[in-house]
Chain A
Amino acid sequence: MPTLDPIAMLGDRSSVRFEPGPTEDKMILNMGPQHPSTHGVLRIMLELDGEYILRAEPILGYVHRMHEWIAEQKTYMQFIPNMGRVDYLHAMAWNWAYVGAVERLAGIEVPERAEYIRVAVTELNRISSHLVWWGAYLLDLGAFTPILYAFDDREQILDILQDVTGSRLTYSYFTIGGVYNDVPADFRERCIKFVSRMRSQLPMYRDLVTSNAILRGRCEGIGELTAEVARRYGATGPVLRGSGIASDTRTSEPYGVYDRFHFRIPTYTEGDAMARYRVRLDELETSCEIIEQAVANLPEGPIATKISRNFKPPKGEASMAVEGARGKVLVHVRSDGGPKPYRVKLRAPGFSNLSLFPELAQGTLIADAVSILGSLDLVIPEIDR
């Protein structure tokens, strides 16, 4: 009698790496692409023995849009809106990485005022990204209420950024040589008001959620990652800093005017999901500090260097790394001296962070895999690009 092979019967070619199953003590389970904890459209094939994961393999590409190909069809300016759509939660970092790479390539100076505005909006955006992560992660772990608080706080940021950029989520605010338009007159007051509101919320977050015994039970000692493994997988951002490495692009290779700011890089040595959680919550405070300094020192002056409409950078190549909410955002641009880029390569931090997942999930319980996946802070459109 032939073995019953449901995967072959479905004609699913993604399963080629898995042996036919199920057998008496092995089950193949698809987590996603519609699973709520996969945040969009990620699919993970799990090979299970009871509730234990023998092997996990993420299957990507459900929201693949081929941004790198689009870049080669458009002029340098026309490609900027795509950058708001790579990582929808921290669009400013991608704006900055692409625009910064082109500025390096063409040797364009950015006015002081634009540099400070860039810092302020990027950090506001980072807080909103971490708040969404915080709410969604707790939702994954079964706590419903925190996301309502997180979205309430995030709404204040979206209102500020809407008045600055005109959009609420997919910003294309940066332009080659500066920023697209000036901040409104009450920008400084609103930022300071938001920062004090955020600071008054953080103790409540800590008391009600971070020190909650159920949350700690779901996070502590789960998905432990050593610094050495993190390095070999190219993990960056809070995932790396949760493993004890105080590496942050804002301080390791300062871009813009970040070298003029004083802030602490939160680092935890445990390497588990809880450490990554704590890093992100502490980064809310770090970003508040930076926003305060940026708006306090916001100089007057022009907001962008004028560049020609048929802008053509000289031939050559340039890379720009920016610290996004999820880690190191890196954009490489190659120019042949024409009006369109010859090649644009987007390095998404989530891509490398997710590639760690099979390593972290192996041998854990399926419920812990949900916790590990959430602690990596995934934005699938960024990974699939």
Chain B
Amino acid sequence: MIPPCVAAMNATHAVAMDYAATGVVASVSLTAETILDAVAVLDREGYLLEDVMASDLKEGFEIAYHFSLFEGKSRLVLRLIAPHDAPKVPTISGIYPGADWHERECFDFYGIDFTAHPNLHYLLLSEDFEGHPLIKAETARKGLVDLMPQSWLEAVGLAKPQAPKTATPENLPPARPGAKE
């Protein structure tokens, strides 16, 4: 279920997720321009910042901010894509000071430049380390189509709604244990 405060966020897409299958109640897609306002909305609503997670996708670096309330199944994920050649994202550490370290960790592993961050240095890696170890090779990168659940892809328009129960390779039942690959 999408919480009402998401309406105030100017989101590109807001998709309700199945908590039992994903552990998240809603996924909100934003851009580098709209993220700060969206985070300010969550701060007013009393959300706690859980973490900031980056992943290396074909489309660019995806930054996912996880928030939850003190009570109830309420995990929200705000996500945005930053291009590989100039991954610039505004820092949210002005609103949530706890994001400071999480963003530095994303810088460590992916080299994402959080603009206006007060202290963007290696946190877990040594100061004289060079490079960003979790960046994938061009050939190893997968796109959102390969990584996101079908319901999300349909909701954001990246996949056509599938007619149920047709025998396409995607919705065949999983192979039985011991069956040949």
Contacts and interface: CB of A to CB of B under 8 A. Distances in A.
A316 B101 contact: no
Nearest to B129: A61
Tell me whether chain B's interface is mostly helix, strand or loop, or mixed: loop
A234 B48 CA distance: 6
Contacts of A351: 101-102
Nearest to B152: A316
B98 A316 contact: no
Interface stretch (B7-15, B28-36, B81-89, B120-128): B120-128
- The size bracket of the interface on B is 35 or more
Contacts of B97: 232-233, 355, 359
Contacts of B163: none
Contacts of A315: 146-149
B122 to A, nearest CB: 8
A247 B55 CA distance: 29
Given A61-B126, A317-B147, A342-B147, A104 B70 contact: no
B154 to A, nearest CB: 13
A307 B149 CA distance: 21
A110 interface: no
A320 to B, nearest CB: 5
B175 interface: yes
B134 interface: yes
A330 B67 CA distance: 11
Nearest to A333: B23
B66 A316 contact: no
Contacts of B50: 234, 321, 328, 330, 347
Nearest to A252: B71
Contacts of A356: 98
Contact of B125 (A61, A246, A318, A328): A61
Interface string A333-367: 01111000011010100011001100100000000
Interface in A31-71: 60-61, 64, 66, 68-69
Contacts, number: 144
A155 to B, nearest CB: 34
A310 B124 CA distance: 33
A127 B22 CA distance: 30
Contacts of A306: 177
B128 A330 contact: no
Interface in B101-142: 101-102, 109, 119, 121-128, 133-134, 142
B53 A307 contact: no
A234 B43 CA distance: 12
Contacts of A309: 177
Interface stretch (A10-18, A117-125, A196-204, A287-295): A10-18
Interface string A61-97: 1001010110010000000000000000000000000
Contacts of A247: 70-71
Interface of B: 20-24, 43, 46-51, 53, 55-56, 64, 66, 68-75, 95-98, 100-102, 109, 119, 121-128, 133-134, 142, 146-149, 174-179, 181
